[in-house]
C-alpha cells in the first residue's frame, strides 16, 4: 500500500506571478494571501530574486522563453501555468517549460490552493525521477568501465579470471571495484597495460 503524501503547510512561502497587470493577478494574489503566501507580481520578466521563490505562476498566453532566468524545463521550483488560450502552440510552449500544474483563466475565487499542492507534488516527483535516472546512468557508465577494464586485463583469457583480478586489485588498492576499473581503463588509454598487470 502506497504512502499518502501529507499536505504541506504553505504559510510563509513566496510566489512570483509573471503576468501583465490584470484582474487574474488580483484574483491569484487574493487567494495566495488567504493561504499565507507572500506574492510578488512582475512583468515582462522574472527578476533574479525569483530563483529563490517557492512557486512561480506564469502567463502561458503571452509568455516567452527569455522571461525566465533558466533554461526551458529546468525551473528550480514548481511552476503553475495560467492558461486562457487553448491554442496548440501555446499549450506546447507551456509544456516545454514543464509546468507542474495549471489554472484556467479567468481565475475565480478558488483553484489556487489545489494548483499549489499539485504543482509541489508534481515537481518533487519529477526531481526524484531525474535523480534516479541520473543515478542509473552513472551505474550503466560504471558497468561499461568495468567491462572495459576486464577486457584490458583478460588479454584473451577468461573474463571470470580477469574480473577476479580486478577485484583483487581493488582490494589491494583499498578502493571500490568501479574506481579500480577507472584506473585500469585510464592506464590502458595511456598505454600502460603492462603497469596494470604489475600493480
| CA separation for the pair 184, 34 (Å, rounded) | 61
Same structural domain, 42 and 97: yes
* Res. 195: pLDDT tops 70: no
104 grid coordinates: 484556467
Domain endpoint, select from 76, 110, 144: 110
Check if the beta carbon of residue 90 is closer than 8 Å to that of residue 67. no
CA distances from residue 195 to 9, 123, 178, 183 in whole angstroms, order as listed:
60, 49, 18, 11
Q: Residue 17 forms beta bridges with which residues?
A: 41, 57
Domain-embedded: residue 25: yes
What CATH number should be reported for the domain holding residue 84? 3.40.50.2300
Q: Is the domain of 98 the same as that of 38?
A: yes
Residue 185 lies in a domain: yes
Res 4: pLDDT:
55
Query: Which long-range contacts does 93-96 make (Cβ < 8 Å, 24+ apart)?
Result: 93/60, 93/63, 94/60, 94/63, 96/72
- The per-residue pLDDT for range 126-178, each reduced to its tens digit, is 888 888 888 888 888 888 888 888 888 887 667 778 888 888 888 999 998 88
Which residue matches cell numbers 505562476? 57
Residues 98 and 154 in one domain: no
Domain membership of residue 129 (yes or no) is no
| pTM for this predicted structure | 0.71
Based on the fold, state whether residues 26 and 80 are members of the same structural domain: yes
Please tell me the total count of domains within the chain: 2
Whether residue 104 is found in the same domain as residue 139: no
Q: Are both 22 and 101 inside the same structural domain? A: yes
Owning domain of residue 91: 14-110
Q: Are residues 88 and 160 in the same domain?
A: no
Judge whether 180 lies within some domain.
Answer: yes
What are the tens digits of pLDDT across the range 88-124? 999 999 999 999 999 999 998 899 999 999 999 999 9
26 and 83: one domain?
Answer: yes
Rounded average pLDDT over 184-195: 71
76: which DSSP letter?
Answer: S
Q: Which of 50, 75, 110 is the last residue of a domain?
A: 110
Amino acid at each position: 500500500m502506497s504512502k499518502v503524501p501529507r499536505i504541506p503547510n504553505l504559510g510563509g512561502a513566496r510566489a512570483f506571478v509573471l503576468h501583465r497587470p490584470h484582474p487574474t493577478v488580483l484574483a491569484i494574489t487574493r487567494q495566495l494571501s488567504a493561504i499565507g503566501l507572500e506574492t510578488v507580481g512582475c512583468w515582462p520578466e522574472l527578476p533574479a530574486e525569483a530563483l529563490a521563490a517557492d512557486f512561480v505562476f506564469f502567463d502561458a498566453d503571452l509568455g516567452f522563453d527569455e522571461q525566465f532566468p533558466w533554461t526551458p524545463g529546468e525551473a528550480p521550483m514548481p511552476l503553475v501555468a495560467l492558461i486562457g488560450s487553448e491554442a496548440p502552440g501555446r499549450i506546447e510552449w507551456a509544456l516545454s517549460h514543464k509546468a507542474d500544474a495549471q489554472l484556467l483563466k479567468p481565475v475565480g475565487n478558488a483553484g489556487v490552493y489545489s494548483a499549489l499542492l499539485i504543482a509541489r507534488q508534481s515537481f518533487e516527483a519529477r526531481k526524484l525521477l531525474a535523480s534516479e535516472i541520473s543515478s542509473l546512468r552513472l551505474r550503466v557508465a560504471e558497468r561499461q568501465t568495468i567491462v572495459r577494464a576486464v577486457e584490458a586485463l583478460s588479454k584473451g583469457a577468461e573474463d571470470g579470471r580477469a574480473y577476479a583480478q580486478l577485484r583483487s586489485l581493488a582490494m589491494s588498492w583499498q578502493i571500490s571495484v568501479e574506481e579500480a576499473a577507472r584506473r585500469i581503463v585510464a592506464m590502458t588509454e595511456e598505454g600502460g597495460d603492462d603497469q596494470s598487470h604489475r600493480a
